[in-house]
A and B are shown apart, each in its own frame.
Chain A
Amino acid sequence: MPDAGAPQPTSPTDASLMARIVSQDEGALAALYDRYSPLVMAICVRVLHDRDDAEDVTVDVFWEVWQRADRFDVNRGSALTYLTTLTRSRAIDRRRSLTARGVDRTRSLNPSFDAPVSTDAPLPAMVSAENQQLISDALKALDENQRQAIECAYFDGLSHSEIASHLNKPLGTIKTYIRTGLQRLRSALRRPRAEGETNA
C-alpha cells in the first residue's frame, strides 16, 4: 500500500518533523502545520459543517501533536495516517459533544463551507506524483453508493443501522456497500513496493 507521506527530495520528511517536534522544535510543528492544516481543516469541516468549530478542532489537533508527538510510531504507519486518524477522532468527539448540548451538526448550516469530496482534489504536496495517481485511481474505484455509505461511517461516525436509516436503504445493502467498497479500496491501493522504497 502506498505511503502518501513520501517526501519530495528537498523537504524534510514527516517522520523527521515528528522527531523534531518531540524535541520541542517549534519550527518543525509550524512546518507540519503548514503542510497538513488544509487537509486537517477539510476533514473537520466535513465532519462539523461549521468553519469556527472546524478551526478550533484543527488547532486542537496540532496542539495534541505537539504535546504527544512521542506517541507517533513510524513503524505503525505514516504521519499522514496518524494525523488524519487523530483529526477524524477529535472532530467526531466534538460533534457528539455539540449534539449532546442540542447543537445540530448533522446537516450543513452553510453549504459553501462544506469541503466537497472530489476524485480530482489536489493531494498534499508531500504525496509523490506516483502515489497521487494511485490514490486518485483508488478513490475513483468506489461507486457512488459505496462512497456515500463509507463516508457516512467515516466522517459522520454513524453505525450501519443509522446509515441505513439516513440513506433510506436496507441494512444488508449498507453493509454490502461498506464491505465491498473498502475491499475495492484496499485492493486498488495494494501494489508491489519498488526496491529500496521505505515509509517516510
Chain B
Amino acid sequence: MTCNECEELLPLYAAGALAPADAERVRAHLASGCASCAAALAEYEQALSHLPLGLVPTPPSDAARRTLMQRVRDSKRATTKSTPVAVELKPTEARKQSRWTYGFWPYVISTVVLLAIGATVFEGVWVYETGIKNDDLQAQIEKQQGELQQKDVALSSLREIAKSNQLKLASFKATDPKSQARGRLFWDEQHHRWHVYVFNMTPPGKGKVLELWYITPDQRKFPAGTFNVDEDGNGKIIADLPADVADIQLAAITDEPMGGSQQPTGTIQLVSEVGTK
C-alpha cells in the first residue's frame, strides 16, 4: 500500500469504519514505520476525540460517585491487609538476640567489606548484561504485542463469521494435482464479505503476491484483494464484495506482481465453486 492510498483510508480507519481487509492493510502500512501516515492518523484521532465535546454533559447520579469511591477504598484496604507487618520481639527474645549480636557484628562488617569489593568488580558486567536483557525483553514484548494484535484481528474475523445470519461455506481446490494447498471460503452474505483461509500454499516468488478474484458466470473476473502467506503456507484475506454484484460463480487465487493486477496474469493456484447468489 502506498502512502497516497493509506492517506485516503486513514480518516475511515481512525473512525473505525473500515472493512477488516482494508483496516489490516492500513495497519500493515503503519507497522512498516511510515512516520507521515502515523502523524496523520494521530491528527485524525485527535480530531475525533473532540467529537464527544459536542455532547451535552450529563452528570451521573450521586450513587455512581459513591460506588466508585467505595470500590477504591475497599481495594486500598485489601492491599493494606496483605502487606507484611513487622513482628515485635518479646523481652526474652530481645535479650537472646542482643547477646548473639555483640559477637556477630565484626564478622558481618568484614563480610560486607569483602562483598563490596567483589560487587564493584562484577557491577559493570551486571549492568551491561541487564541492559542487554532489558533490550531483549522490550523486543520480545513488542513482538508479542504484534502477535496479539494479529490474533485480535483473527478473532474479530471469526466472531464476525459466527454472528452472520446468512453464511455459506465453500472449499478451494488446488489446480495442480500434486499440490497440498487447500482453502476455505466463508461467504457472509449478510455483510457481502468473504473470509478466505488458505493452507499449505507455496509462497509466491520474490516480487509477487497472491490475489483473490471473484468470477461471474460469464467469466468476468474482478480483483478482491491481495495477501500473502507465512512460512508454513498459511494465510487469510477478508474481502468486501459490492452489494450490487450479480451472480458470483467462482472464487480463485492466482499469483500476481506485487501490488496486484486488474486482470489475472498469473497461474491459478486455488479455485472454488461458490455457486450463484
Contact = CB atoms under 8 A, between A and B. Distances in A.
B60 to A, nearest CB: 5
A1 B59 contact: no
B54 A117 contact: yes
A42 B57 contact: yes
Nearest to A117: B54
A123 interface: yes
Nearest to A76: B42
Given A59-B67, A154-B16, A163-B17, A29 B72 contact: yes
A88 interface: yes
A87 B57 CA distance: 14
A171 to B, nearest CB: 7
Contacts of B51: 139, 150-151, 154-155, 185
B47 A42 contact: no
A38 B57 contact: yes
A88 B150 CA distance: 22
B33 interface: no
A159 interface: yes
Interface string B72-114: 1101100000000000000000000000000000000000000
A18 interface: no
Interface size class of A (residues with CB under 8 A): 35 or more
A129 interface: no
A40 B156 CA distance: 26
A39 interface: yes
A154 B15 contact: yes
Interface in A38-56: 38-39, 41-43, 45-46, 54-55
A19 B191 CA distance: 45
Interface string A55-86: 10011001100100000000001001100110
Contacts of A54: 58, 60
Given A37-B59, A122-B57, A154-B51, A55 B11 contact: no
A186 to B, nearest CB: 4
Interface in B14-70: 14-19, 43-61, 63-65, 67-69
Given A59-B64, A159-B19, A135 B48 contact: no
B17 A121 contact: no
A168 B180 CA distance: 45
Contacts of A122: 56-57
A121 B54 contact: yes
| Smallest CB-CB A-B distances: 4 pairs | A38-B57, A182-B11, A153-B15, A153-B17
